[in-house]
Structures are given as C-alpha cells and as structure tokens.
Amino acid sequence: MALKRMDNVGIVVEDLDAAIDFFRELGLELEGRGNVEGEWAGRVTGLGDQHVEIAMMRTPDGHGRLELSRFLAPPVVADHRNAPVNALGYLRVMFAVDDIDDTLERLRARGARLVGEVVEYRDVYRLCYLRGPEGLLVGLAQELG
C-alpha cells in the first residue's frame, strides 16, 4: 500500500475569524467551515466529548490544505505558539510565494511580524519566518531565477 498524499496540516487557534482572514490574505481559499462534535470525534482524538469549530483552507493549486480548529470543548491545555524555532515537535508551515516583499507587506497589515530577516539562500530562494495571528510561525519562500 502506497502513501497517496498529505491531506492537511492542522493548527489550533483561539480566534478562528482572524486566522481565516490572515490565511486568506496570504492567498489560501476558504474551502468550508463547520463544527465537529460528538462521541465519534472524541474517539479519533482521544479527547472524549469534544466540540470544535473548524475551517478548511485550500492552497490555490488545490493540493494543500490547512485545517484551522477552535476548541470549544474540552478547553485548550497547552500553548506552543511562541516556541522558538529550535523547539521540538511541529514547528511551522511554509508557503511558496511569488513576491516575498509584497506578501510580507500585506500580512503585516494583518499583524504579522518578521521573526529574523529576509535572507537569500544560494541565489535559489529568498526565505523568512514570520509570526502571524496568535504568534503562529509561518515560513515564506520565494524561488529566484
């Protein structure tokens, strides 16, 4: 049996509307929004009875998805949003963009802040990390040439 694809990356947020707006500004499309709740969902996550509001965001090419989740029950128990870049575990999501400077300018209007600086890697990429809504770590990569 072969792996077919990576379906989505999940990010838990407190303010779902702000996260949707931020990722829309980045260029993702809102594919759908709804609630996931009940005993069956808790069996999958191991959380028991849960109620989660989710939004599925899709990349313009239609291949990548980002699932934004806001837990109504049970309450959030840990916060890794401001973990440094060398923290263990899932860290960030990276997006390829056409123009890193324009993208950064648009996202700064939504509260994003640059983590370090925009750097060039071997005349191949311009790269940066930024903190988006709620301190979420997002990477941007612009192919050169």
* Per-residue model confidence as pLDDT tens digits over 97-129: 999 999 999 999 999 999 999 999 999 999 999
The fraction of the chain above a pLDDT of 90, given in percent, is 70
| Strand 125-131 relative to strand 113-114, pairing | antiparallel
DSSP one-letter code for 75: P
Which pLDDT value is given to residue 62?
A: 94
- Fold: same for 9-73 and 93-143: yes
Q: Is the pLDDT of residue 90 over 80?
A: no
pTM over 0.85: yes
Q: Which of 42 and 19 is assigned the larger pLDDT?
A: 19
The answer on pLDDT for 46 being more than 90 is no
Task: Quickly list DSSP for 88-137.
Answer: SS---EEEE-S-HHHHHHHHHTTT-EESS--EEETTTEEEEEEE-GGG-E
Average confidence (pLDDT) over 8-21: 95
Give the number of residues written for the chain. Answer: 145
- Residue 68's nearest CA partner among 15, 113, 25, 120 is 15
What CATH fold (topology level) applies to the domain 9-73?
A: 2,3-Dihydroxybiphenyl 1,2-Dioxygenase; domain 1 (3.10.180)
Give the residue extent of every domain in the chain: 9-73, 93-143
Question: Which pLDDT value is given to residue 59?
Answer: 97
User: DSSP letters along 19-60, please?
Assistant: HHHHHHHHT-EEEEEEEEEEHHHHHHHS-SSEEEEEEEEE-T
**Domain over 93-143 is classified CATH 3.10.180.10:** yes
